[in-house]
Amino acid sequence: MDPECSRLLPALCAVLADPRQPVADDTCLEKLLDWFTTVTAAGSSLLLLQENPCLVELLFRVLKSQDLSSRILSFSLRLAGIFAAQEDCFQYLQQGELLPMLFGEVGPLGGAAWTAPAVRSGWIQGLRTLAQHPSALRFLAACGAVDTIFSLQGDSSLFVASAAGQLLVHILDLAMRGPARGRCSPQACDWPACAQKIVCHIEDSLCSIATPQVTQALNVLTTVFGHCRGLWTQGLWVRLSPLVARLLEKDPVPASHSLVDLLLSVARSSVPSSDRGLWETLAQTLSHLSPTQAGPLALGILKLQDCPQALRTQAFGILLQPLACVLEAAAQAPGPPGLLGGAAGDPMTADTLLCSKSACVGLLCCALTHLGLLQPLPQRPSPWPQAPLLGAAVTVLRLCSGSVAPTSDVGGRLCAILVGCGRVQRAALDFLGALSQGAGPQESVTQVFSVLLEYLMSPESSSMVLKKAFQATLRWLLSSPKTPGCCDLDPRTQLFLRELLPVLQKRLCSPCWEVRDSGLEFLTQMTRHCGGQAGFRQALLASEVPELTKQLLQDPESYVRASAVTATGQLSSWALLAAPASPERPGAQQKSLLVELLHVLCADSEGFPRRAVMQVFTEWLRDGHADVAEDPERFVARVLQAASRDPDWEVRAQGLELALVFLGQLLGPRGSHCPCAVALPETAPPGTLAQALPEAAPPGTLAQALQVLCRVQLFEFAFRALFDCDRPVAQKSCDLLLFLRAKAAPCGSPQEAGDSPNVASVEATLQRWQAGEQGQPLGYLEPGAVMAVLRSIDLEGLRDTLAESSDHVEKSPQSLLQDMLAAVGVLGENEADCY
Amino acid sequence: MKLYCLSGHPTLPCNVLKFKSTTVMLDCGLDMTSTLNFLPLPLVQSPRLSNLPGWSLKDGNAFLDKELKECSGHVFVDSVPEFCLPETELIDLSTVDVILISNYHCMMALPYITEHTGFTGTVYATEPTVQIGRLLMEELVNFIERVPKAQSASLWKNKDIQRLLPSPLKDAVEVSTWRRCYTMQEVNSALSKIQLVGYSQKIELFGAVQVTPLSSGYALGSSNWIIQSHYEKVSYVSGSSLLTTHPQPMDQASLKNSDVLILTGLTQIPTANPDGMVGEFCSNLALTVRNGGNVLVPCYPSGVIYDLLECLYQYIDSAGLSSIPFYFISPVANSSLEFSQIFAEWLCHNKQTKVYLPEPPFPHAELIQTNKLKHYPSIHGDFSNDFRQPCVVFTGHPSLRFGDVVHFMELWGKSSLNTVIFTEPDFSYLEALAPYQPLAMKCIYCPIDTRLNFIQVSKLLKEVQPLHVVCPEQYTQPPPAQSHRMDLMIDCQPPAMSYRRAEVLALPFKRRYEKIEIMPELADSLVPMEIKPGVSLATVSAVLHTKDNKHVLQPPPRPAQPTGGKKRKRASDDIPDCKVLKPLLSGSIPVDQFVQTLEKHGFSDIKVEDTAKGHIVLLQEAETLIQIEEDSTHIICDNDEMLRVRLRDLVLKFLQKF
């Protein structure tokens, strides 16, 4: 331990044990415990206690004090646990009878302090930390702690109850981990007494008629099978599985959620390899639970890597049931075999669907979500009933919009329940989107597009539903097949697009900003992926969407403006903003967009649109956007000038990103030997440039490049950023300058310009900037001077400093101790740092 | 209690409730959908309309060609538009004591009732209802009177001829009762019969019932009504809204514990959510104007227009429409916009608080100030000087048959750049557009109806739990076009009773109690006797005095004091009209104990039979029956008065006398 900390520790212990000086801040105590954990992990706890007797003294004083706060008591219990985790230290504390006094019946356990949940929690956590060695087990047995833990499982505080369960698991694991315990027999006559006791308690609880007790036992077992890897778990399952199976005989099945968790936990453990009976229990459980309860179990089973096909079929059937019922109820006439191969829907599922709105909505949402989660998994059931699932999703959506007219009574009631239900609409649209990954028969896809269009058009669709509808539409459009022989959209998709764009146009005029925003996001994504396809270009240019998008740059809502910036940037990248009416002035429209975006960057009062502009500009530069390519130097100079003044650090950081792209283009990307003035679009992620040392550029081109960089005032921007008050900006700038310095290594020697007055003044300015006076500009810099300055700055040192978290000074244990003492006035005022 | 249903239109009700001794008319709605059968009245001579061909029968007979004109396959009556009045034959309307008005849309038939039926009662309505109702009537009269039509078609109404006409004329109902619009004089006379009331104000009707208006949340001053006596309560819910728009919120709590709840005026478009429709309205408006087109919004001069202007106030800047002029054209535009700002106490809380800032409650004041919204009484005059396109015009009438809207339809109908957006739900937009076909302008249907939908009704009924619900038959089944939508009907237990036009409904509850007051001196004279803990009885001899539906028990008249000369008087003269009172009996006879008593008194051979109402004790030897029932005991023995009296005395032993 740091000698300074050792010096402060006695005073702190005195403060902690003094009830007249309450410690106001709980987080200090937590930090103190963290520190002690670190200290004891690094060295001997025994030595620590011997060198700092004040610590043991603190524990004794805490025990004696009557009116100490519960949080100090809790802290002391946890602290003692940390020390006693090492066996020699445990013995040391035992000699002083300190541990029984803290954790035994004579301690807080019997006192008034026990009523505070914090004390009970501290007691459990102390024991949890302490229980690391055989001596601890004996101690637990001797002081009767296990019985107390049993009772704490039903504690009124959920935190305490949960921690008690976990402690039991930990003790059981510790007891069973002893040598030669690997192959315990199910009879368990040779199990340690402590483990026997816990297992018997679990058995009793499983047989209890009180559901909370059953839940506790199931939760403990779930943790056991989830965390303990020993072979003994297999024996435990053999012993307990009959009791678990007996739960299924009750109606209703008690603690069904916990039972499902347990069974899945067991199924994921090593048990199935030894006990095939587990699959049978799972199958029984699936058939006993209600449709709502069985859903999560079915999903869990289907996610298992290795499980019998019959069980998977059963589980999949459960997930499909609700949708099968919907399909059956909405069917106009007996159609082709549906989801369940023609079998009728389960009457129990149908009953659940019809019994109340909340049950119906809950069951359908779960089924849709579960199937959506299953869809992309490699182990999803095969064959995957893509077509009936598409039909079911479309039917659910139509029932929700009231646009389907079921003839059956059940269908009518379902329609009445579901119509206008936003939750089901959202879940169904998500599911429909997920289904886009698979193909479907022609007529199903036509139905999908028609229902999506219906939702996008409907004035009844809420903004969230519309967002989901846009997302699903995007996924279907992107997954739609391309016309054979060329990369254009197929005729059906084109037809859909032509119907979609007027709808998008209307949505972009919505009075609800969320809708405008979703519309713009959709447009951006669509353009990003299909901007080069003739069909899409044709349809888009024939619509008013590009013009409307541009108008939204003036939207009153900043999020919409930001999305409009991204969308127009994307449209412009694909030359989709150009007005077709003025062929004699190609690019005129786009130029004005550049000016407009620059205006947003300089004048917008909100950060989001400005950040979006920087991203668009970076992308334009990287991709060689026509406007930028005309005069990249001027473009970069203007953007960097605007970004350097920006109050938003993300804009400044994005400015450095743009500068890096520019550097890459000037000096050549990493590994390239032939940099040219304006390189082809850069593909390597710029952020990685600084990490790997770039290869040096030939001196001739380098000098020209440095001239360019000086002209665009990139150095002024980067140097300012180096001393930015926001660490990410400074870090990025540091990386950029390191990259530049490495690239420019052969460019002259330090003697060339190192002594010029220019360098001295630059260095003086930089020092002032570092001190916080950033008013003075650097002025025009010569490349030689820049390189000299670059060499003179300790960039590596700066990078290391920046890599430390900003509060590394304040986080030191010494600072923590000082703060705690200062808070109670033991130290002089104002000596503590604020954090 | 009876309900006479005079209107078949669920949102324009007119019902008469006979309750106790009063006859109360609930609303006075005027069904104006009849005007859709007529040709529009153009403000400016329209060659297109005047050159429409006359209609002739299939056999070429053209005797109706002066009255009926054909336009794009539809046939219209070329005459002054006429309205379908409430039923006048079902009940003698001169017997109506009071008329309760729930909102300004539901009083448009008032002049027909008050001026032409012998009505002599009072009309009750809130102030905004009357003022805005007056504006609506004034606008209607103005629209029709300023385009005088020489011709009044009546030949087509002949039943034999009507049969030969194409639909929908053929199917039009009660055409013989259709009437031309009233005059301003009739309007003024009708409105003079209205007495203003405030929310929760209790109004006594002849001492028999009390009526109270409650806020219904639908429009400025709109009300639901409670009609109650001491023991019965009828709630009349008409045109209510739970949405937060400009009016005061709906008072639901006062509707609780009703015996009967009459439910009318639900939303006419249950599938359209007003919020979604407003969004649709704004989007389409912006799209049209951005393309250089004009937008026409046929509307009433009050109501939803206030909310639309408020939405546009927030929307126009974001949509870049700040430079687009908005015109509101109506003979009552100015009054409507100004009235809305002065009825602060009838507005929702948010708007009320603005008044104290002080700010105008509605933002249309600012739109007017900044010249973004301009209003004119008609297209003639100043408007033609200021008119700038593209623009947005709000004007009436929503039926598109009269008013300035006719002119704009003729003016803009030919261009596909323009759009007409229907926001009022009262008229089918396709029927409204029929005489303007073929039409190039875009038509958008965004009906905004803030009245209760079926989900809200279901919650309301659960909340207020009336014993019986009475509603128009349209609400008891899904709409014909969406017969699968079981959610679009009233679902309650017991099932709602439905009514249709010209039907008389006996309301399903009987009046069982009446409150009677006892004069203090009479009460003083009573001697209650406790017959079981907490229950005391006393006999009362009194005179029941009934006047103005109040019942009072007064002490019986004292005998006249002997006049001076006579000093002695026979005792029997004291209360000449009163017979000697027999004591009243109470209690029940325990059969087993009674049988034991009989045995003790020497009766043997006793048999007891159980009957549906009690027991029969049979004294076989004496050939005597004693029937013991809940509220009577009979001793039946032949010609043995001694025995009867003995048995009677034994029975009386078990009963209390007072």
pLDDT, one tens digit per residue, over B111-129 is 999 999 999 999 999 999 9
Distance CA(A833)–CA(A469), nearest Å, equals: 52
Tell whether A548 lies on the interface with B, counting CB pairs under 8 A.
yes
**Confidence band, pLDDT 50/70/90 cuts, at residue A424:** very high
Nearest neighbour of A505 by CB, restricted to B276, B277, B287: B287
**Confidence band, pLDDT 50/70/90 cuts, at residue A691:** very low
pLDDT of residue B173: 84
**Confidence band, pLDDT 50/70/90 cuts, at residue B320:** confident
Which of A398, A509, A520 to mutate to test binding with chain B, by most B CBs within 10 Å of its CB? A509
* Domain boundary residue, one of A106, A122, A143: A143
pLDDT of residue B365: 93
CB contact under 8 A, B318 and A555: yes
Burial state string for B371-404 with b = 16 or more CB within 10 A and e = fewer than 16: ebbbbbbbbeeebeeeeeebbbbbbbbbbbbbbb
Of A520, A633, A637, the C-alpha closest to A571 is A520
Nearest neighbour of A416 by CB, restricted to B276, B311, B486: B486
Distance CA(A577)–CA(A544), nearest Å, equals: 10
Distance CA(A259)–CA(A248), nearest Å, equals: 9
Q: How many distinct structural domains can be found in chain A? A: 2
Tell me if the bond preceding B397 is cis, omega within 30° of 0: yes
Mean pLDDT of all residues in chain A?
84
User: At residue A321, what is the residue type?
Assistant: Q
Tokens describing residue A811: 């986080």
CB contact under 8 A, A556 and B318: yes
Beta bridge partners of B22: B19
Nearest neighbour of B484 by CB, restricted to A412, A460, A557: A412
Least Cα separation, residue A392 to chain B (angstroms): 19
Is residue B15 within 8 Å of residue B3, measured between CB atoms?
A: yes
* Domain boundary residue, one of A89, A112, A143: A143
Tell whether A557 lies on the interface with B, counting CB pairs under 8 A.
yes
SS (H, E, C) A624-648: CCHHHHHCHHHHHHHHHHHHHCCCC
Total H helices, total E strands in chain B: 17, 35
Q: Reduced to 3 states, what is the DSSP secondary structure of residue A273?
A: helix
Distance CA(B654)–CA(B651), nearest Å, equals: 6
pLDDT of residue A188: 59
- Least confident range from A801-815, B292-306, B319-333: namely A801-815
Of A566, A573, A536, the C-alpha closest to A549 is A566
Tell whether A454 lies on the interface with B, counting CB pairs under 8 A.
no
Residue in chain A closest to B445 (alpha carbons) equals A459
Tell whether A412 lies on the interface with B, counting CB pairs under 8 A.
yes
Mean pLDDT of all residues in chain B?
91
pLDDT > 90? residue A560: yes
What are the phi and psi torsion angles at A199 (to 5°)?
-65, -40
Nearest neighbour of B485 by CB, restricted to A407, A415, A557: A415
Tokens describing residue A506: 């209307």
Tell me if the bond preceding B331 is cis, omega within 30° of 0: no
CB contact under 8 A, B276 and A406: no
Q: In what order do the strands lie in the sheet with B614-619?
A: B606-610, B614-619, B624-629, B633-636
Q: What is the dihedral of CA B113, B115, B121, B126, to 10 degrees?
A: 70
pLDDT > 60? residue A335: no
Tokens describing residue B633: 């005991």
* Domain boundary residue, one of A109, A143, A177: A143
Q: Which residues of A touch B291 (CB under 8 A)?
A: 544
Residue in chain A closest to B317 (alpha carbons) equals A556
Nearest neighbour of B279 by CB, restricted to A420, A512, A555: A512
Residue in chain B closest to A417 (alpha carbons) equals B487
Residue A831 lies in a domain: no
Is residue A442 within 8 Å of residue A426, measured between CB atoms?
A: no
Residue in chain B closest to A418 (alpha carbons) equals B487
pLDDT of residue A345: 66
- Least confident range from A501-505, B48-52, B255-259: namely B48-52
DSSP-derived letter for residue A812 is S
Tokens describing residue A572: 């412009």
pLDDT > 60? residue B565: no
pLDDT of residue A394: 95
Q: Domain containing A693: what range? A: 634-812
Tokens describing residue B202: 């209790």
Q: Reduced to 3 states, what is the DSSP secondary structure of residue A598?
A: helix
Burial state string for B297-308 with b = 16 or more CB within 10 A and e = fewer than 16: bbbbbbbbbbbb
Residue A21 lies in a domain: yes
Of residues A667 and B265, more confidence is placed in: B265
Q: Which residues of B touch A411 (CB under 8 A)?
A: 484
Distance CA(A425)–CA(A692), nearest Å, equals: 49
pLDDT of residue A703: 80
Residue in chain A closest to B319 (alpha carbons) equals A509
Q: In what order do the strands lie in the sheet with B468-472?
A: B203-205, B209-215, B223-228, B233-238, B260-264, B468-472, B497-499
Residue A116 lies in a domain: yes
CB contact under 8 A, A555 and B271: no
For A596-630, how does the pLDDT look when each residue is reduced to its tens digit (9 = 90+)?
A: 999 999 999 999 999 999 999 999 999 999 888 88
**Confidence band, pLDDT 50/70/90 cuts, at residue A341:** low
pLDDT of residue B191: 97
**Looking at the whole model, is its pTM more than 0.90?**
no
- Least confident range from A819-823, B39-43, B470-474: namely A819-823
Of A335, A379, A364, the C-alpha closest to A429 is A364
pLDDT > 50? residue A681: no
Residue A740 lies in a domain: yes
pLDDT > 90? residue A666: no
Nearest neighbour of A506 by CB, restricted to B276, B284, B483: B284
Respond yes or no on whether ipTM tops 0.85.
no
Distance CA(B506)–CA(B468), nearest Å, equals: 12
B22-26 vs B15-19, strand pairing mode: antiparallel
pLDDT > 60? residue A31: yes
For A389-419, how does the pLDDT look when each residue is reduced to its tens digit (9 = 90+)?
A: 999 999 999 999 988 888 788 888 888 899 9
pLDDT of residue A404: 84
pLDDT > 80? residue A809: no
Distance CA(A135)–CA(B29), nearest Å, equals: 91
Across the range A662-667, mean pLDDT stands at 88
Alpha helices in A106-182 (DSSP H): 117-130, 134-143, 145-152, 158-176
Residue in chain B closest to A561 (alpha carbons) equals B318
Q: Which residues of B touch A412 (CB under 8 A)?
A: 484, 486
Residue A644 lies in a domain: yes
pLDDT of residue A340: 66
Is residue B412 within 8 Å of residue B346, measured between CB atoms?
A: no
Residue in chain B closest to A402 (alpha carbons) equals B485
Least Cα separation, residue B486 to chain A (angstroms): 6
The helix or strand, by DSSP H or E, that contains position B422, with its residue range, turns out to be strand B419-422
Interface A–B counts its CB contacts (< 8 A) at 75
Of residues B195 and A809, more confidence is placed in: B195
Residue A9 lies in a domain: yes
**Confidence band, pLDDT 50/70/90 cuts, at residue A674:** very low
Residue A58 lies in a domain: yes
Across the range B467-494, mean pLDDT stands at 91
CB contact under 8 A, A511 and B318: yes
Of residues A142 and B531, more confidence is placed in: A142
Distance CA(A115)–CA(B525), nearest Å, equals: 67
Least Cα separation, residue B505 to chain A (angstroms): 30
Is residue A575 within 8 Å of residue A600, measured between CB atoms?
A: no
pLDDT > 70? residue A104: yes
The helix or strand, by DSSP H or E, that contains position A278, with its residue range, turns out to be helix A277-288
pLDDT > 60? residue B323: yes
Write down the residue that tokens 């004329």 correspond to. B169
Residue A652 lies in a domain: yes
Across the range B74-94, mean pLDDT stands at 93
Q: How far is CA A225 from CA A222, A231, A272, in A?
A: 5, 11, 12
Alpha helices in A480-587 (DSSP H): 491-508, 513-530, 534-542, 545-551, 558-573
Q: Which residues of A touch B485 (CB under 8 A)?
A: 402, 415-416, 419
